[in-house]
């Protein structure tokens, strides 16, 4: 079989490595992929947002199945375009991807169907929003409506910060049209849990839970990033909480999307906060999380391609989706300075023996050398019997990998260990 994966980061590398476990797979094209994936995929320099280019390539190569991993091509309708060309693809169509593409849509959906989330107001007028933040309870959370490369959320501790966030999104257009509307919402408190779930609109099958570490520096200090590391399973996600999430959030979301004629087929990502009033939705993503995928898929024991095809064909309930009881930890090795400015082009050395566990997020391959080429460079994952061992094994690998200017957090999983071990 010929597969194609749209995207080029660590998440895509993890998906590709898992897909390759199926012996029917002959080749996987990655569009655009990156220089660190070349042992696992044929990388082709077509951008993930070039929908026509992706479609033309898939048709030309007679690709059997496509996985669209990132948010922007999904929101742009990549799966719809491939379907028109008769090529089956994993991921929601444009109508369903709006659950991530518009925060106004997702908040209104939750309100309409009684799905627990932070209280909120929507604004399309900057003056009204500025008026509102004069009296809103602090801290307050200001969110751009549309996609903003993970930077569209500001937790404002003061009125000045809230005003600044409104002005930068609505007046200065920092996120372009994504800031035409904003959501201002209640600040929630509690541990965060990420749950990725396969769904075909009929069945909802959550994967093992995980915990992201979004801040750049140790002890959750510094700027928000795409994610500096993950662990799975998340100890805050107890069986009781899982059952509540299924009944109060996951199934109601699937049913709500069906009722809106926006059946969601793909991987639905629930960003949850376990508040004192129970689990609430912080955000939906219409795709696998990055770097959640780098700990979740290594624990998947069933065949990923079989599951994905079953999702596309609406027979998810017929295939096994099983996870190991082990624990996984992923430490992101980034370029110092990320998520602000950083230098690129440093040589990366990874001992051959550990390459199976290293997901390459931002690298190029030049003159026989692997070079850093992004903010997040590598995701170093270890799977062990328990979380403590997985964290240790991951950091042991990190210590043997080298590139100049490497930066990583030293406390990935520390909070989770405290919950587990007291």
For 163-174, give the DSSP string. Answer: HHHHIIIIIS-T
User: Contact, 1 vs 65, CB < 8 A?
Assistant: yes
The one of ligand AMP, ligand GLY, none whose footprint includes residue 290, by CB under 5 to 8 A per kind, is: ligand GLY
Please say which residue, 141 or 358, places its beta carbon nearer to ligand AMP: 141
| Cβ neighbours of residue 345 closer than 8 Å, sequence gap 6 or more | 371, 372, 373
Residue closest to 395 by CA, chosen among 385, 415, 409: 409
For residue 342, give Cα distances in angstroms to 55, 65, 390, 404, 411. 34, 36, 29, 12, 22
Q: CB under 6 A: which stretch of 122-130, 239-247, 285-293, 407-415 binds ligand GLY?
A: 285-293
- Judged by CB under 6 A, the residue of 121, 192, 218, 248 near ligand AMP is 192
How many of the chain's residues bind ligand AMP (CB under 6 A)? 15
Q: Does 415 bind ligand AMP (CB under 6 A)?
A: no
Q: Does 36 bind ligand GLY (CB under 6 A)?
A: no
- Judged by CB under 6 A, the residue of 8, 35, 91, 227 near ligand GLY is 227
Consecutive H or E run containing 383:
strand 376-384
- Judged by CB under 6 A, the residue of 132, 187, 342, 407 near ligand AMP is 187
Supply the minimum distance, in Å, between the C-beta of residue 237 and ligand AMP: 15
Q: Does 153 bind ligand AMP (CB under 6 A)?
A: yes
Q: Does 70 bind ligand GLY (CB under 6 A)?
A: no
User: Contact, 99 vs 109, CB < 8 A?
Assistant: yes
Supply the minimum distance, in Å, between the C-beta of residue 188 and ligand AMP: 4
Supply the minimum distance, in Å, between the C-beta of residue 117 and ligand GLY: 17
Distance CA 116, CA 186 (A): 12
- Judged by CB under 6 A, the residue of 212, 266, 294, 383 near ligand GLY is 212
Q: Does 129 bind ligand AMP (CB under 6 A)?
A: no
- Bridge-based pairing state of the strands 376-384 and 327-335: antiparallel
- Bridge-based pairing state of the strands 2-7 and 65-68: parallel
User: Contact, 63 vs 2, CB < 8 A?
Assistant: yes
Q: Does 285 bind ligand GLY (CB under 6 A)?
A: yes
The contact set with ligand AMP (CB under 6 A) reads 118, 141, 150, 153, 155, 185-188, 192, 214, 224, 271, 282-283
């Amino acid at each position: 079989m010929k597969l194609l994966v749209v995207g080029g980061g660590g998440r895509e590398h993890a998906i590709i490595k898992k897909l390759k476990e199926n012996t029917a797979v002959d080749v996987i094209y990655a569009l655009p992929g990156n220089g660190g994936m070349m042992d696992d995929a044929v990388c082709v320099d077509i951008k993930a947002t070039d929908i026509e280019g992706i479609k033309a390539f898939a048709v030309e190569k007679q690709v059997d199945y496509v996985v669209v991993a990132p948010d922007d091509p999904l929101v742009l309708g990549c799966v719809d375009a491939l379907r028109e060309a008769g090529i089956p693809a994993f991921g929601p169509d444009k109508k369903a991807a709006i659950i991530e593409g518009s925060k106004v849509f997702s908040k209104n959906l939750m309100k309409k169907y009684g799905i627990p989330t932070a209280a909120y107001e929507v604004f399309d007028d900057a003056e009204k929003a500025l008026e509102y933040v004069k009296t809103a309870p602090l801290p307050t959370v200001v969110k751009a409506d549309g996609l903003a490369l993970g930077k569209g959320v500001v937790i404002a501790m003061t009125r000045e910060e809230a005003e600044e966030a409104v002005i930068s999104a609505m007046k200065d257009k920092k996120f372009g049209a994504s800031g035409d509307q904003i959501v201002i919402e209640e600040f929630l408190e509690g541990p965060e849990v990420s749950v990725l779930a396969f769904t075909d609109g009929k069945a909802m099958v959550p994967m093992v839970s995980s915990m992201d570490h979004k801040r750049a520096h140790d002890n959750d200090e510094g700027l928000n990033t795409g994610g500096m590391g993950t662990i799975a399973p998340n100890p805050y996600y107890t069986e009781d909480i899982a059952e509540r999430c299924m009944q109060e959030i996951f199934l109601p979301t699937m049913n709500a999307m069906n009722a809106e004629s926006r059946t969601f087929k793909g991987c639905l990502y629930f960003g949850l906060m376990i508040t004192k009033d129970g689990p609430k939705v912080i955000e939906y993503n219409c795709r696998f999380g990055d770097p959640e995928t780098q700990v979740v898929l290594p624990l998947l024991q069933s065949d990923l391609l079989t599951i994905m095809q079953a999702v596309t064909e609406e027979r998810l309930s017929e295939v096994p989706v099983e996870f190991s009881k082990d624990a996984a930890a992923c430490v992101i090795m980034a370029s110092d300075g990320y998520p602000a400015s950083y230098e690129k082009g440093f040589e990366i050395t990874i001992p051959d023996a550990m390459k199976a566990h290293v997901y390459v997020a931002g690298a190029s391959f030049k003159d026989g050398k692997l070079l850093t080429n992004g903010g997040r460079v590598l995701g170093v994952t270890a799977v062990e019997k328990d979380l403590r061992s997985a964290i240790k094994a991951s950091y042991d690998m990190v210590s043997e990998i080298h590139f100049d200017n490497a930066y990583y957090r030293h406390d990935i999983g520390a909070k989770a260990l405290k919950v587990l071990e007291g």
